[in-house]
Amino acid sequence: MKYKHVLFIVFVILALDQLIKIYIKTHFYMGESVHVFGNWFQLCFIENEGMAFGMKIMDAPIGKVILTLFRLIAVCLGFYWVKRLVARRHGRGLLLCAALILAGAAGNLIDSMFYGLIFTDSGMQIAHFVAPGQGYASFLHGKVVDMFYFPLIDTTWPHWIPFFGGRPLRFFEPIFNLADAAISTGVIVLLLFQKKLLRHHYDKPVATRKQEEPVL
């Protein structure tokens, strides 16, 4: 797989992620939920200032800046990492995982960097575009748009269970976006199949390598 093919995958995922986020941001009230398939698949609009699935580094504003800068550095290094993987002739599986992770990181980075500049606040009204700099927050302080909600199990713990009895039981409770899903998929596949995916091209038998060498 060539570098341009990996970039194409990255930009397709990135474009889909942004299209979904912009649609949700400009058509949903904060907290509004729409049932897509029964109760187990919903579109529920929320925003978070942290990492994937709403996690945070810290509550202070500087934590948001640190996270956004970290994302920016990670994305820049990600493009370099992918280029190195392609140059070393790693397999499609590893390159696809890298593309998913890179696209997801870039998708949430765009929210953090620019959404505060170009959107109004989604507090009591549906947000809309504004001139750059007239939005709800400054550069690097944008909130990440989340919308996918899969409460596959929504019940209560049986009363006879110690400590948890009578409490709500929901699975899967976090609300996330396409970028989060791309990162999670790439990381999980990489962890589960790392021995196969991380095998270097030059670890293959000589005969196999010769067959794969490009003809000049």
Give me the catalytic one of 59, 121, 146, 203.
146
Position 17 in a domain:
yes
Q: In DSSP terms, which residues pair with 154 in a beta bridge? A: 170
In a domain, 210, yes or no: no
DSSP state of 123: S
The string of pLDDT tens digits covering residues 3-59 is 999 999 999 999 999 999 999 999 999 999 999 988 889 999 999 876 655 555 556
Is position 146 annotated as part of the catalytic site? yes
pLDDT tens profile 44-72: 999 987 665 555 555 666 777 888 888 89
Q: What's the pLDDT at 208? A: 47
Per DSSP (E only), the strands in the chain are 33-37, 41-48, 144-149, 153-156, 168-171, 175-176
Token couple for 98 = 């890298």
3-state secondary structure 154-185: EEECCCCCCCCCCCEEEECCCEECHHHHHHHH
Rounded CA gap, 123 and 143, in Å?
Answer: 12
Number of folded domains that form the chain: 1
* pLDDT tens sequence across 182-194: 999 999 999 998 8
> Would you say residue 215 lies in a domain?
no
Catalytic residue among 121, 154, 180, 203: 180
Q: Is residue 206 part of a domain?
A: no
Report if residue 47 sits inside a domain.
Answer: yes
121 is catalytic: no
| Position 30 in a domain | yes
- Asked whether residue 112 is assigned to any structural domain, the reply reads yes
Domain range for 106 is: 3-122+133-157+164-200
pLDDT in tens, 156-214: 888 888 888 888 877 788 899 999 999 999 999 999 988 888 775 545 554 444 554 44
Answer yes or no: is 128 within a domain: no
Average pLDDT over residues 85-95: 92
